[in-house]
């Protein structure tokens, strides 16, 4: 199965971001991708945390979700929509939202939803972030099945950005038979430089799973700089494709036979005791 991790440098203008996402999705489809993954906050990185509240949508309705469904249908793609802000109360906007990753099949149907469980907080004196100011945490791991053209039904586990630091989430996915982990992200430059690649490769190695991580990568209008380095990694921890900075499409082919070989040669998942 060919997977595309789409790297973006999202702005504070929704229409610009949807246009950029549309271009990258088209490029992924032209290059033969079956699954395209957008980064966290693909639809908006504003000047303030609260900016995302103005574009929140009720689950199942809204211009962002309509755009995603139309793109999936017109391009014949499975699309994992990084994250978008979904209202906690479907009847009215609120001052706190879920940071949600939605999965659309090639018929344009939303078939899975994951609300980011772990909310990022970081303060080194020079830069400070606290997602809990405007986000509510999800509580449920989510996976979905993707019947690919290669004949394999890929079991795919969803996660977002800061979740990457919590190995127990991915171990639970491995126990449930997941063989591809998705990590759409907007890592800061500081934390990304220190930890991004090593954590992604660790999650692949310890769970003998493919990992695809679509990232924000560049300097945004707010002045924030995200790390980038969108990656696709194989179950042995080898990087199959990557891009350092800037918008682009990171493409790699996932091989179910290679996955089976890695798990057969090193059956670590069968040796768990705790």
Catalytic (active-site) positions: 40, 116, 161
Number of neighbours of residue 197 by Cβ within 10 angstroms? 17
**Cβ proximity of 75 and 24 under 8 Å:** no
Instruction: Read off the DSSP letter of residue 215.
Output: B
Contacts of 215 (CB under 8 A, 6+ apart): 5, 7, 39, 40, 184, 185, 186, 187, 192, 196, 226, 227, 228, 229, 230, 231
The rounded distance, in Å, linking the Cα atoms of 13 and 10 is 8
Question: Strands across the sheet with 180-182, in order?
Answer: 143-147, 153-158, 180-182, 210-213, 230-233, 239-243
Return the closest-CA partner of residue 156 out of 209, 196, 108.
209
Helix axes 63-75, 14-30, angle to 10 degrees: 10
**Cβ proximity of 116 and 186 under 8 Å:** no
The rounded distance, in Å, linking the Cα atoms of 25 and 38 is 9
Return the closest-CA partner of residue 258 out of 239, 234, 232, 242.
234
Per the DSSP assignment, residues forming a β-bridge with 185 are 215
């Amino acid at each position: 199965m060919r997977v595309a991790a789409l790297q973006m440098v999202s702005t504070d203008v929704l229409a610009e971001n949807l246009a950029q996402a549309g271009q990258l999705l088209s490029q992924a489809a032209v290059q033969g991708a079956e699954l395209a993954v957008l980064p966290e906050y693909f639809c908006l990185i504003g000047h303030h945390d609260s900016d995302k509240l103005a574009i929140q949508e009720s689950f199942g309705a809204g211009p962002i979700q309509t755009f995603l469904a139309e793109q999936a249908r017109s391009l014949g793609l499975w699309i994992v929509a990084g994250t978008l802000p979904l209202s906690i109360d479907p009847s009215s906007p609120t001052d706190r939202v879920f940071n949600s990753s939605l999965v659309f099949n090639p018929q344009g149907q939303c078939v899975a939803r994951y609300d980011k469980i772990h909310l990022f907080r970081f303060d080194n004196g020079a830069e400070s972030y606290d997602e809990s100011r405007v986000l509510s945490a999800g509580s449920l791991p989510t996976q979905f099945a993707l019947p690919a053209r290669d004949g394999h039904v890929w079991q795919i586990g969803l996660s977002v950005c800061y979740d990457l630091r919590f190995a127990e989430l991915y171990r639970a996915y491995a126990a449930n038979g997941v063989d591809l982990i998705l990590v759409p992200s907007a890592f800061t430059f500081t934390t990304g430089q220190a930890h991004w690649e090593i954590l992604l490769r660790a999650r692949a190695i310890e769970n003998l799973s493919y990992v695809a991580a679509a990232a924000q990568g560049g300097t945004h209008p707010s002045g924030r700089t995200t790390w980038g380095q969108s990656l696709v990694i194989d179950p042995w921890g080898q990087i199959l494709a990557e891009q350092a900075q800037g918008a682009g499409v990171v493409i790699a082919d996932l091989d179910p036979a290679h996955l089976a070989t890695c798990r057969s040669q090193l059956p670590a998942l069968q040796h768990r005791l705790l």
